[in-house]
Amino acid sequence: MQVDVLVLGGGPSGFGAAVGAARTGASVALVERHPVLGGMGTAGLVNNFCNAHKDGDRLIIGGVFGDLRERLIRRDAIYTNGAWGLEPYDPEIYASEMAAMCAEAGVRFRLGSTIADFRCRGDGAVAQLEDGERIAAAHAVDATGDAVFAHAVGVPTRHGRAGDGKVMPLTFCYELAGIDLDAMAADWPWAVRRDERTGQAYVSISMHPEASALVASEQRAGRLHIPRDHISGILGTPGRPGHATVNFGRVFISDPTDPAQLERASAEGREQIADGVAFFRRCIPGMARIRLEREARQIGVRESRRIVGLHTLTGAEAVACTQFEDVIAQCRYCIDIHSPDGPTTVLRDFAPGTHYDIPWRCLVPSAGPSCLVVAGRAISADHESSSSFRVSPSVMAIGEAAGVTAAIAARQGCAIAAVGPGPVQERLRAQGAILD
């Protein structure tokens, strides 16, 4: 296959890149190793939007993300009033709407296909899939989350936090069924919400002090062994009463891109699922008769490698709500650092009416092949800022900008860096992105 733009990876950023490039007029191929689109949002069962995109009732992220969210709303597949501004969605409908949007835009995609090899040459990029298929492209977007192929072709990268390179811990997410919402609401009224549009009741537990107190007392009694001091999320699945997905484990490793470490982390993550389910059955109102419906297809990686780009977005810039002239996306999700070596989480929220910008230069490698641009959580940033923009609404918007950049570069026959932010911003605005 020969295309203008090849997107490596089909998580939220790869999806945004593929649709963004196709809407700009490029021929596009996307390759994803899982049999579904969505990355961590489907394969990782992290099926909710963190609040990067809303400032009160005002949306600050539009474009491909806004269109997808609108489609989920139309299908009653998302709750928009979860605790902490979280918006849980049905992962199957999410994946099918992503596939529909790719198809409508003309994206050709290969699901269940692993990219075994990737090269950049003078005249573009070539990927070799595990089944032997070759895809050649003028330009490529690395949307693997780990900057796998940017690293392989010589783009400089950093790993984890400054100083010791440690990364945020991993979590194996899962879905529960059989939650008795009436019993839960009787003891923990704050834990059950009602969706504004459908009227459906659903679990919405995130960072609540009553749940954290229970975690602490069970840990002290030696009955709970998960090394974290709170429950990040137990969130109802739209359209499935009594179901919820859980984000509660915490596994420490030094390098999630090392397959051997990842395998050990997955085994520990599964042990934590058993520990967590037993704790919920024992202690949480309405959960005495829950069952483990399914585990995610893979353990969730929050942080690994990031490229060194033309600019590195820092936590200080995010906290100062910095506006950049080359903005390609806005974000207002809190700084959310899961400690790389302890049970705590640092949270620092943004005041109403404030957000920060993500600059185009963070997507553009500072060195390496000129046909490659990077999307998603692996853009050029430090540990602190990436703890915020790594969530799915913002990485989808970053992906769209990466796709638009690659499409313009393909049309003009120029290097990624030569595109510059101006034409990208113009095209993003025309596609409904919100940049101010």
Ligand X SMILES: Cc1cc2nc3c(=O)[nH]c(=O)nc-3n(C[C@H](O)[C@H](O)[C@H](O)COP(=O)(O)OP(=O)(O)OC[C@H]3O[C@@H](n4cnc5c(N)ncnc54)[C@H](O)[C@@H]3O)c2cc1C
Q: Interface with ligand X by CB under 6 A: which residues?
A: 9-14, 31-34, 39-41, 43-44, 46, 48-50, 114-115, 143-145, 148, 171, 173, 233, 247, 300-302, 376-377, 390-392, 395
Cβ proximity to ligand X, 130 vs 411, nearer residue: 130
Cβ proximity to ligand X, 311 vs 377, nearer residue: 377
Cβ proximity to ligand X, 247 vs 385, nearer residue: 247
348 contacts 330 by C-beta, under 8 angstroms: no
Q: Residue 127, Cβ neighbours under 10 Å: how many?
A: 23
CB of 183 to ligand X, least distance (A): 25
CB of 220 to ligand X, least distance (A): 25
391 contacts 27 by C-beta, under 8 angstroms: no
Cβ proximity to ligand X, 361 vs 390, nearer residue: 390
CB of 98 to ligand X, least distance (A): 11
Cβ proximity to ligand X, 91 vs 145, nearer residue: 145
The DSSP code for 372 is E
129 contacts 113 by C-beta, under 8 angstroms: yes
5: tokens are 């733009």
List of residues 6+ apart from 380 with CB closer than 8 A? 306, 307, 308, 309, 310, 311, 312, 313, 361, 362, 363, 366, 374
What is the rounded CA–CA span in Å between residue 264 and residue 185? Answer: 38
- Residue 338: closest CA among 288, 293, 388, 379: 388
Residue 139, classed as helix, strand or coil, is strand
CB of 357 to ligand X, least distance (A): 18
Cβ proximity to ligand X, 154 vs 422, nearer residue: 154
CB of 328 to ligand X, least distance (A): 15
CB of 244 to ligand X, least distance (A): 13
